[in-house]
Amino acid sequence: MREMPEQAVDFKAQALFAGLVYNEAGEPVEVAHIGGEAHYAIPDDGFLRHVEAHVVDDAVLVQLQEQVSAVQDELVQAMLSMLGKEDIFTKAALEASVRNLKENVRQSQQAQWQPWLRMLGFRVVVNVHGEVVEVIYPEQPEGDE
């Protein structure tokens, strides 16, 4: 008997940044499921505008990918140092992880990283149409702090 391959994660059924998305007035955006698909319910003057979560999530992931790619070499070197490994296989694996950030985030368990991002002040600001206006990253301490 032939084994069936594992089902792929239905990325439309999840909201990656649940609890981290806010409207331009600073109000939290809730998640609603419509027909099995996750939507961000954006408060708009007493109404809720529903936008497919994967559209917002993709826009955020593109921005994150751009930020990470800009410092990829430094990031990979820092990770190699942290791991105490300098071999080409580990380096290649880390570089592939950075290149495939979007897929890796979609396949991960959000419960493992969402609370950390929330605690560190990561926020996504969207307008009433679900367009990403701003991604607020945790601030880095300056100097020797």
| Residues comprising the chain, all counted | 145
Each residue's pLDDT tens digit, 46-60 = 999 999 999 999 999
Please state, in angstroms and as integers, the Cα–Cα distance from residue 76 to each residue in 56, 86, 104, 113, following that order.
28, 10, 16, 20
Q: What's the total number of domains in the chain?
A: 1
Q: Is residue 143 in some structural domain?
A: no
For residue 21, what are the β-bridge partners?
A: 124
Provide mean pLDDT across the span 80-99. Answer: 85
Band the pLDDT of 113: cuts 50, 70, 90.
confident
Q: Is residue 87 in some structural domain?
A: yes
| Full residue range of the structural domain in which residue 123 is found | 11-136
Q: Is residue 21 in some structural domain?
A: yes
**In this structure, how many other beta carbons lie within 10 angstroms of the beta carbon of residue 38?**
22
For residue 21, which amino acid is it? V
Pull the structure tokens for residue 96: 């592939």
Q: Is residue 141 in some structural domain?
A: no
Answer whether residue 13 shows pLDDT above 90.
no
**Could you tell me the pTM of the whole model?**
0.76
The answer to whether the CB of 116 falls within 8 A of the CB of 32 is no
Q: Is residue 24 in some structural domain?
A: yes
Average pLDDT, the chain: 85
What is the model's pLDDT at position 71? Answer: 84
The more confidently predicted of residues 8 and 110 is 110
Percentage above 90 pLDDT, the chain = 44
Q: Is residue 114 in some structural domain?
A: yes
What is the model's pLDDT at position 6? Answer: 46
For residue 142, which amino acid is it? E
Each residue's pLDDT tens digit, 65-89 = 888 888 888 888 888 888 888 888 8
Each residue's pLDDT tens digit, 126-136 = 999 999 999 99
